[in-house]
């Protein structure tokens, strides 16, 4: 009697498990890969000083329909948020990440903002989060999931505002991954966001907000303060 496909697959899995016993060889392979990960070729444009990286990030992000505001210090962030909302005629109700790094902003300086904290809800029009890294070569944000940075805040609202500090700027993707590995922890999800959500699937016409926010606004803080 011939084996079914299911039996064949299970047999192969059983054989592989038998060969590796407790999985020590597999674990050693993974650990070796994590410790000795290869780096790709990093473009020269990503090898800049801090100001150069900030300028490049702003240029690249703007090219893909994000908007960028630059402030000198964290205590200027609330006013920058309020100014952006006013300029876009958007609601002042914000759903914010419960991120201690954002607490350093002087939110009491913008009392007109109605701030609540936690995961995004379907009716939330605007969210504010931090970023783990800004990748200058493509104007991309690296966002990590976790209790202090719920992933829903990145995708549910129509408008996503991201506070990006100078010390979080890197040149290339390889640098961002190195920065993450240095923390000694890996999140459940890593999202790379380049500009607002878009799709050209329907008649090759570009539509913003197809699978996430229609607006992505990055507030770059020059002094980590």
| pLDDT tens digits for range 186-213 | 899 999 999 987 665 555 555 554 566 8
Answer yes or no: is pLDDT of 62 > 90.
yes
Are residues 5 and 68 both part of a single domain? no
**CATH (domain of 116):** 3.40.50.10420
31 and 102 co-located in one domain: no
Q: What's phi and psi for 210, nearest 5 deg?
A: -65, -40
Could you list the residue range(s) of the whole structural domain that residue 73 is in?
44-221
pTM of the predicted structure, to 2 decimals: 0.81
pLDDT > 70? residue 19: no
Asked whether the beta carbons of 91 and 126 are under 8 A apart, the reply is: yes
Q: Is the pLDDT of residue 144 over 80?
A: yes
Q: Quickly tell me which residue has 């150069």 as its tokens.
A: 52
Decide if 20 contacts 26 (C-beta within 8 A): yes
Residue 65, token pair as written in the block: 């329909």
CA distances from 160 to 42, 72, 88, 93, 184 (A): 29, 21, 13, 12, 28
Which region, left, alpha or beta, applies to residue 214 given φ > 0 means left and ψ of -120 to 50 means alpha?
alpha
Say how many domains are in the chain.
2
Q: Do 87 and 4 share a structural domain?
A: no
Task: Give yes or no for residue 42 having a pLDDT over 70.
Answer: yes
């Amino acid at each position: 009697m011939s084996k079914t496909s299911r039996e064949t697959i299970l047999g192969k899995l059983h054989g592989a498990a038998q060969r590796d016993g407790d999985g020590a060889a597999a674990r050693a392979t993974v650990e070796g890969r994590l410790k000795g990960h290869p780096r790709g070729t990093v473009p020269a444009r990503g090898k800049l000083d801090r100001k150069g990286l900030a300028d490049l990030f702003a240029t690249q992000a703007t090219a893909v329909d994000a908007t960028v505001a630059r402030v000198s210090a964290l205590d200027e962030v609330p006013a920058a948020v309020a100014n952006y909302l006013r300029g876009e005629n958007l609601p002042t109700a914000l759903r914010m990440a419960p991120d201690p790094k954002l607490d350093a902003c002087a939110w009491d300086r913008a009392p007109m903002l109605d701030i609540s904290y936690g995961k995004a809800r379907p009716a939330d029009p605007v969210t504010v989060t931090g970023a783990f890294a800004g990748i200058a070569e493509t104007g991309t944000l690296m966002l990590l999931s976790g209790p202090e940075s719920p992933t829903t805040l990145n995708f549910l609202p129509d408008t996503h505002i991201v506070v990006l500090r100078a010390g979080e700027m890197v040149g290339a993707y390889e640098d961002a991954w190195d920065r993450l590995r240095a923390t000694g922890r890996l999140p459940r999800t890593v999202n790379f966001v380049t500009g607002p959500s878009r799709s050209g699937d329907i008649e090759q016409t570009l539509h913003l907000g197809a699978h996430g926010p229609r607006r992505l606004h990055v507030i770059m803080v020059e002094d980590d303060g």
